[in-house]
Structure 1
Amino acid sequence: MREGTTPLVRREDYTAPSHWIRSVDLSFDLDPAKTLVINRMQVEPNADRPGEALRLDGEDIVLTRVLVNGESISFRNEGGQLVLENLPAEPFALEIRNTCAPEKNLELSGLYTSGGSFFTQCEAQGFRRITYFLDRPDVMALFRVTLRADARAYPVLLSNGNRVDQGKLDHGRHYATWVDPHPKPSYLFALVAGELVCREQRVRSRSGKDHLLQVYVRAGDLDKTEHAMNSLIASVVWDEARFGLSLDLERFMIVAVSDFNMGAMENKGLNIFNTKFVLANPATATDVDYANIEAVVGHEYFHNWTGNRVTCRDWFQLSLKEGLTVYRDQTFSQDMAGEASARAVKRIEDVRQLRQMQFPEDAGPMAHPVRPEQYQAIDNFYTTTVYEKGAEVVRMMATLVGEACFRAGMDLYFQRHDGQAVTCDDYAQAIADANPGSPLATRLDAFKRWYAQAGTPRVSAQGVYSAETGSYTLTLSQQTPATPGQPVKAPFVIPVAMGLLDSDGRPLLLQLQGEADYGGTDRVLVLDQASQTFVFTGLYGLTAAPVPSLLRGFSAPVILEWQADEAALFTQLRHDTDPFNRWEAAQRLAVQRLLSAVRSGQPLQLDAAWLDAQRAVLRDPALDAAFKDLVLTPPSAGYLAEQLAADGVPVDPPRIHAARESLRAQLAQALHDDWVWAFETHQDNGAYRPDPVSSGRRALANLALSHLVLDAARSGDTVWPGKAFQRVKDAGNLTDRQGALIALLHAHHELAEPALARVHAQFKGEALVIDRWFALQAGTPERDGRVFARIKALALHPDYSLRNPNRARSLLATLFVMNPSALHREDAAGYVFWADKVVEVDAFNPQLAARLARGLDRWRTLAEPYRSAAREALIRVSGRADLSPDTREIVTRALQD
């Protein structure tokens, strides 16, 4: 796998397989050192490709036998494939016997062991590490699986579908047989065997069928599964109510494992989850954890239809299942949040994540379309572009046709393609065909550029008001920067949700030129040309030009370039009826001040108008606490860096860091009394509840405490640091305990050390809390090199391990991706550390190493000396002959001109 050049796979080269595998009977004799796999398949030649050899994928397995219709045949290995020639022209039985060594599988792909149990991860290409197969998503087969193992060591034996048989065997062994009644590709195969306990719940669908829901965990974690089970029940109910999609198996199982490269996996009926997205109680999980568990449980369950019943024809179509299912889980989370304000907070959080992670990807060397055109390692394309931007593409479809019509399109999609492996084009066509005459259907070919073109469109807006004619002329233009392999971009179809406000913030009725009457205060404009002009009429009697409220709800994944004056932004911050644009106005006001200081090199000095606006938000009784927390949190360093890079300004990370720290310090000092009020009035002293209102109150109280401790570090006050330390000791939930610890860490207060020691001693047996303990320290803003030195020391901590992905990410991913203030150093030590760890991890877990390597994607945007030093680190890694294809693709693309 590490020799030679990995071939480039191109979407345009897709061809159907030479054979179809219609059914599979798998038998496993499970042993950590040497597991025997007997694979009996019913194979049918593809009539369109007669006489071709059958090429089966296999990796790191030992072949012992090949039979065709019961007879041994000759075979050869070629390029990592088992090649079988001179096969029957009619359907035939193929039997393959091989062994694998799960306990040596440190890549955590295929069949491996963790904590004394067996687990699998087969997406995208892990099944070939279990047995030889046509390991591609368009080969869908019926699976029957029999598991045999020692009954004492592995009392629980699970696989996909429904259990049809189980019993005892000789010598203390036992077996279980599972049958999945639905055809599936090999990447959806799963098995679990081990000593596990489970929480069970029976539910009845609207059709009257009973189903068994189970959540399996290791002994001792059962008390942390209630929220996951409740989330699963809510997912089952929601999907049936919202999309008419019912659970199609007798049971649905979730299994939690601590050694897992991904967040979770939607294997048919047997979802395998990273423990961080299953286990939760108030002492060991934060409000964010609770929300993430609900979202991820929903996401994987919703895959049952959008990904499993209808799957991808090839891996280029990955967003067919992932983008659509992210959209579904985001909608689910909004519906679970309930009232409009909580829904708005969820939308803002999703957009903030998109901007911080996906927009830089679109602007960097790894930029690729939502539907990529080529790859070397498919694992590298499990990206925010495929997932989150893909979800935005689906959201735009829903916006262009309307919610009810979108449901009709989804219904048509399942009617046409249930049980098939299809493409993104098939999905878009179904939504359009269900809604003829819609803005989507009339522009479908142009709309599908969202699948084909990389990059983030930049939409500029200019407005002119004429009091004489009572008209407001809005001109929208779009331009998308060049990306690797795509120097020129055709115009996208961009839905721009908008409204107009008068100078006092009141919404105006909208009437486009040529319309007979007003059409309400909200409108969706469709920008599908390089530039278009829209004229609104009937706007008489205004004392000033209207304030445009553009891209409401973030109706398209674009960068809006609108040279708004400060008065307009303050009007939006105070009055806009769209919560997203109210938050966006606050972000723009903060960005303007921060970037002005960064560009000039002068100290940041916050003005009274901005500070008064922040105080007004904090004190506003009409605003939810969660919304206040979002408004009062400054833009991230990464987001600021991208604004500079977009303008061609070299990025100086320490200068950005200094500006943000100055803003935080001034905000802490100027609003001290207001922060005291916020902290004292937003305590939630009752029983812990992770609902949006309670979570919002805790978030705002912890933000207030952080500012109070920060200001205390300036003034020498000991009261608030003491309160924070006491909160670390006796908080009734992890959210508040973590909030207090962050306050001490980010202020670099001397009480941070005893607080850290106390948390470690109290939770040393809780792996997920210790993961967080490492991450909080790695994410602390830098001061005089002390944070980086701490991180290097933590890498040698006895509780730290690179072998467990969660633990490895807690320190390294936090530093490389989330803490530029500590990574980017003039002495280049951060880049040396990055290179050392990427190479070290790559030796045994290429998937994890490739993700860590993404930390230097944007090295070209850096100012000197950071730029040259980062380049040297990339060259050093790329020069290694033993580098995995996964990591090599990342560093090679980063270095390409």
Structure 2
Amino acid sequence: MPQPRQAIRRLDYTAPAYLIDCVDLTFELDDTATRVASRLVIQRNAETKADTPLVLHGESLSLASIKLDGVPLAADAFTHADDTLTIPAMPDTAILEIVTLINPQANTELSGLYQSSGNFITQCEAEGFRRISFYLDRPDVMAKFTTTIIADKAKYPVLLSNGNRVGEGTLDKNRHWVKWVDPFKKPAYLFALVAGRFVSLAGNHTTRSGRQVAIEIYVEPGNVDRCHHALAAVQKAMAWDEQRFGLEYDLDTYMIVATSDFNMGAMENKGLNVFNSKYVLAKPETATDADFDGIDSVVAHEYFHNWTGNRVTCRDWFQLSLKEGLTVYRDQEFSSDLGSRAVQRIQNVRGLREYQFAEDAGPQAHPVRPDEYQEINNFYTWTVYEKGSEVVRMYATLLGIDGFRRGMDLYFKRHDGQAVTCDDFRTAMVDANNADLAQFARWYSQAGTPVLDVEGVYDDAAQTYTLTVTQSCPATPGQDVKLPFHIPLALGLLDRRGQELPLQLADEAEAIGNSRVFELRQPVETFRFVNVPCHPVPSLLRDFSAPVKLVYPYSDDDLIFLMAHDNDAFARWEAANQYATQLLLARYRAGETDTPAPEKFVAAMAAVLANPQLDPALAALMLTLPSEAALFEALSDVDPQKLCAVRQGLKEALARSLRAQLLATYQKLNDGAPYRYDGAAVAARALKNVCLDYLGELDEPLTAELLASQYRHADNMTDRLAALKVLAQRDDGEPFVDDFGKVWQDDALVMDKWFALQASCSRPGALSTVQALMNHHAFSLKNPNKVRALIGAFCQQNLAHFHALDGYGYAFAADRIIELDKLNPQIAARLASCFNRWTRLEPQRRALMRAELERISREPGLSGDTFEIASKALSAGT
């Protein structure tokens, strides 16, 4: 059986024994034998003892030569073993020259230097640079990089790296060279090199200080017409960061390269961002509104990393959320300013609840700042990113936007050019605002999702309303006892006409606003409001002011009232979501799959459809039932197929009851206007397609006509795919699915949508379809996008078929994880997370899933990445 890697612990951190001032790299590119020459100017850390050896990291490298201060090292002067290169006798300062050989073509892990479609690409976060050259591959070793790339001019006409281009020329044998200098110190994980046959789309940006920045987006030939949205996103992000945070770009050129083979969404390498093509390439015929929105968000995220991640980086990988949580918050704020703030907030919270809350409640639970890890690649999680962003958002909620900006300004003033910690960020917020955030630090150290139990009591005679809030947090692996968190709770009180009441506490001389943020620090807190003229309906956790679960005994009438009247858009959606959740869970427990929808719920949903003042995008979200994944997390001993049937039953019942309103809304919005990508048009399409999705549940000729017409006549992928998703679930939809596959068979990104659509389909035979599609010419197990689209969609989005009672879904997933682990352990480990919630299943499925987990864990040669996920999942059952 594989053995776990020895855990690395945060409290064991020690400063690097040696520092690297500058790095000169020369690459002579070759498909199977790339030569990398590095020249490192090294100095002993002042705190390091003189007899301390220099230990460099290196994986899958062939050592060709090594010199110290110009003299070749004898064989007994260094040791090359166990992925390290050790030099026992090092002077205080030295120049170390190392030549290594690597095989990019054989690198299926897509970490380090590899080939994609015949082009050279790098991915060095978290520990990929050690697969390129021997180095102190840790984020707190920051150096200035100079990179020279030599390659065949015909095969690789474009040669890119970090920083500014300072020289280029030609050599013998039809080779050419380009030299790049990055003037800013950076850790090796931010190094990048790209070489290949690319074409580019160019643009520019003038900073507020008047500097001209060239923007260049590099893509494979034939894709330039799909880069314009990404270029505009860069320009918008640059302007926004200057206006919101006073941060300007600092190099002459900002470059993006799109590649189809990439483990992540994108990577923020200094000045040269490498992107998964999914987040660059888009035009209305091939990309949906969600794709365009995703490009805006991811382009902004990687650009914002220039300051929150590059100029100020993390001291060690335990501090990963220092850059990722902060930058997710920044890209969410950018997207909110770009479109509907309310809709953006709701979408972010939905993702957090479905995935991060599940992570917090499962075997992989860990704090935002983990205390230990075996494989750092497994900590690129929803907790580090999305919960980390919520922690940053709470700073802004507690300190206010101006206070948060003061803290950010002080953070950059103190730490520009440094590798720092989450505590350094919190200290900047404290010092800039003279705030008490000592207890707030527990958000970094304690795992789990806090629960707020709220009780409200109205005293009619005294006209007071008392809210009592009790906080708790469930045990998580390694943390049985949790101390109270510092939690901002935003709330308001509504009278029965829907008007907000002034909020005045008993010890206050006058009311202070109608919506306020109260700070919870104790296990139990009580807030007594005075001059409350009637029994109010509380609007709690407005704008989702903290990443917690809130429990309050709302009646159905209370929730319907809040759906109609709450001024806080998030709380309004939350009321609809909570009502539907409670209804579905009650039906699940009662085994009801074909009961009519309650009249009051139908009336409330009809009111949403009929409200002309409501943002159509918000209406679409309010009409959408809670996902199967979200419902799964609210239950134990789950029968997933029964759960899916219950949700499907309510959806069909609503469609029957709301048929007239749904049809009228659809026909009104389906006006035949040409495609536009702007807030109003996106919102209208969202509501139109939610209505079509409901109508698709009705087995009648008119529905079939609407679906066929929208599929055939749509001038954009949003509408065509919306129709196809509904058609794929119907008996009459197969010809349309086949047609889509034939039309788009040569477009890799569109085919990913086709794969995912069929993999997540609830119709019988889904697993057989997925197995057959693995032989499709457009599918490759070596391509992470294809794996996510087909196998990942089946395992993570097709609840009914993945959890089929015969266990074939589990066996299929285990087979693919074992197979993938030999090619790309990162992707295999992420897919293995589909087994995390096995203990929540009913006993028969639980036993089947456990058996597959055990089979994965026993696989000879299993990578540390996958073994860590599987073994932790198994530990949840002990």
Q: TM-score, normalised by structure 1?
A: 0.96
**2:634 partner SS:** helix
Whether 1:484 and 2:463 are equivalent positions in the alignment is no
Equivalent of 1:626 in 611, 614, 617: 617
Equivalent of 2:852 in 873, 888, 893: 873
Equivalent of 1:77 in 75, 80, 83: 80
CA contact 2:2–2:857 (8 Å) conserved in 1: no
Equivalent of 2:569 in 574, 579, 601: 579
Which letter maps to 1:13?
A: D
**2:438 partner SS:** helix
Query: Paired residue for 2:367?
Result: 369
Which letter maps to 1:621?
A: P
Deviations 1:580-608 (A, max 9, x none): 01000001110111101111223444211
Which letter maps to 2:391?
A: V
Whether 1:849 and 2:828 are equivalent positions in the alignment is yes
Q: How does 1:295-334 map to 2 (within 5 A)?
A: 295-334=297-336
**1:183 partner SS:** coil
What is the aligned-residue RMSD (CA, Å)?
1.1
**2:274 partner SS:** strand
Q: Residue 313 and residue 271 in structure 1: after superposition, are their counterparts in 2 closer, same or farther (change >3 A)?
A: same
Query: Paired residue for 1:431?
Result: 429
Q: Distance in 2 between matches of 1:505 and 1:796?
A: 58
Equivalent of 2:731 in 740, 749, 768: 749
Deviation of the 1:449 alpha carbon = 0.3
Q: Distance in 2 between matches of 1:837 and 1:92?
A: 48
Equivalent of 1:758 in 726, 736, 739: 739
Q: How does 1:822-841 map to 2 (within 5 A)?
A: 822-841=801-820
CA contact 1:729–1:758 (8 Å) conserved in 2: no
Query: Paired residue for 2:549?
Result: 559
Which letter maps to 2:723?
A: A
Equivalent of 1:495 in 467, 471, 488: 488
CA contact 1:473–1:534 (8 Å) conserved in 2: yes
Deviation of the 1:684 alpha carbon = 5.2
Query: Paired residue for 2:682?
Result: 695
Equivalent of 1:117 in 107, 113, 119: 119
Query: Paired residue for 1:590?
Result: 580
Which letter maps to 1:829?
A: Y
Q: How does 1:496-515 map to 2 (within 5 A)?
A: 496-515=489-508
Query: Paired residue for 2:15?
Result: 16
Query: Paired residue for 2:708?
Result: 725
Which letter maps to 1:586?
A: A
Q: Distance in 2 between matches of 1:684 and 1:656?
A: 36
Q: Distance in 2 between matches of 1:690 and 1:355?
A: 28
Q: Distance in 1 between matches of 2:759 and 2:837?
A: 20
Q: Distance in 2 between matches of 1:5 and 1:424?
A: 28
Equivalent of 1:643 in 634, 654, 672: 634
**1:128 partner SS:** helix
CA contact 2:2–2:867 (8 Å) conserved in 1: no
Q: Distance in 2 between matches of 1:589 and 1:311?
A: 43
Q: Distance in 1 between matches of 2:181 and 2:98?
A: 20
Deviations 1:388-432 (A, max 9, x none): 000000000000000011101000000000000000000011011
Deviations 1:323-351 (A, max 9, x none): 000000000000111xxxx2100100000
CA contact 1:706–1:744 (8 Å) conserved in 2: no
CA contact 1:510–1:521 (8 Å) conserved in 2: yes
Equivalent of 2:348 in 347, 350, 369: 350
Deviations 1:448-498 (A, max 9, x none): 100000000010100000111111000001110000000000000110000
Q: How does 1:331-410 map to 2 (within 5 A)?
A: 331-337=333-339, 342-410=340-408
Query: Paired residue for 2:37?
Result: 38
Deviation of the 1:700 alpha carbon = 1.3
**1:434 partner SS:** helix
Query: Paired residue for 1:214?
Result: 216
Q: How does 1:85-96 map to 2 (within 5 A)?
A: 85-88=88-91, 90-96=92-98
Which letter maps to 1:741?
A: L
Which letter maps to 2:538?
A: P
Q: Distance in 1 between matches of 2:4 and 2:601?
A: 56
Q: Distance in 2 between matches of 1:588 and 1:505?
A: 19
**1:553 partner SS:** helix
Q: Distance in 2 between matches of 1:506 and 1:864?
A: 49
Query: Paired residue for 1:412?
Result: 410
Q: Distance in 2 between matches of 1:55 and 1:403?
A: 45
Deviations 1:783-829 (A, max 9, x none): 4x422332222223232211110011101111111221111011001
Structure 1 window deviating more from structure 2 (506-515 vs 699-708): it is 699-708
Equivalent of 1:165 in 160, 164, 167: 167
Q: Distance in 2 between matches of 1:531 and 1:819?
A: 41
Q: Distance in 2 between matches of 1:723 and 1:642?
A: 35
Query: Paired residue for 2:843?
Result: 864
Query: Paired residue for 1:674?
Result: 661
Q: How does 1:449-488 map to 2 (within 5 A)?
A: 449-488=442-481
Which letter maps to 1:394?
A: V
**2:182 partner SS:** strand
Q: Residue 419 and residue 367 in structure 1: after superposition, are their counterparts in 2 closer, same or farther (change >3 A)?
A: same
Structure 1: which 5+ runs fail to align?
none
Q: Distance in 2 between matches of 1:313 and 1:504?
A: 54
Which letter maps to 2:731?
A: H
Q: Distance in 2 between matches of 1:853 and 1:332?
A: 33
CA contact 1:684–1:694 (8 Å) conserved in 2: no
Deviation of the 1:20 alpha carbon = 0.2
Which letter maps to 1:739?
A: A
Q: Distance in 1 between matches of 2:64 and 2:517?
A: 63
Q: Distance in 2 between matches of 1:622 and 1:864?
A: 49
Query: Paired residue for 1:291?
Result: 293
CA contact 2:65–2:100 (8 Å) conserved in 1: yes
Q: Distance in 1 between matches of 2:88 and 2:7?
A: 25
Which letter maps to 1:749?
A: D
Q: Distance in 2 between matches of 1:816 and 1:487?
A: 31
Query: Paired residue for 2:795?
Result: 816
Deviation of the 1:673 alpha carbon = 0.8
Which letter maps to 1:864?
A: P
Deviation of the 1:504 alpha carbon = 2.0
Structure 2: which 5+ runs fail to align?
none
Query: Paired residue for 2:54?
Result: 54
Query: Paired residue for 2:673?
Result: 686
Equivalent of 1:247 in 222, 246, 249: 249
**2:718 partner SS:** helix
Which letter maps to 2:646?
A: A
Which letter maps to 1:735?
A: T
Q: Residue 4 and residue 534 in structure 1: after superposition, are their counterparts in 2 closer, same or farther (change >3 A)?
A: closer
Q: Distance in 1 between matches of 2:4 and 2:828?
A: 18
Deviations 1:94-152 (A, max 9, x none): 00000100000000000000111100000000000000000000000000000000001
**2:785 partner SS:** helix
Query: Paired residue for 1:795?
Result: 774
CA contact 2:628–2:644 (8 Å) conserved in 1: yes
Equivalent of 2:590 in 591, 594, 600: 600
Deviation of the 1:3 alpha carbon = 7.0
Which letter maps to 1:433?
A: D
Identity of aligned residues (%): 49
**2:195 partner SS:** strand
Q: Residue 632 and residue 602 in structure 1: after superposition, are their counterparts in 2 closer, same or farther (change >3 A)?
A: same
Q: After the TM superposition, which parts of structure 1 deviate over 6 Å for at least 4 consecutive aligned residues?
A: none
CA contact 1:161–1:249 (8 Å) conserved in 2: yes
Query: Paired residue for 1:230?
Result: 232
**2:457 partner SS:** strand
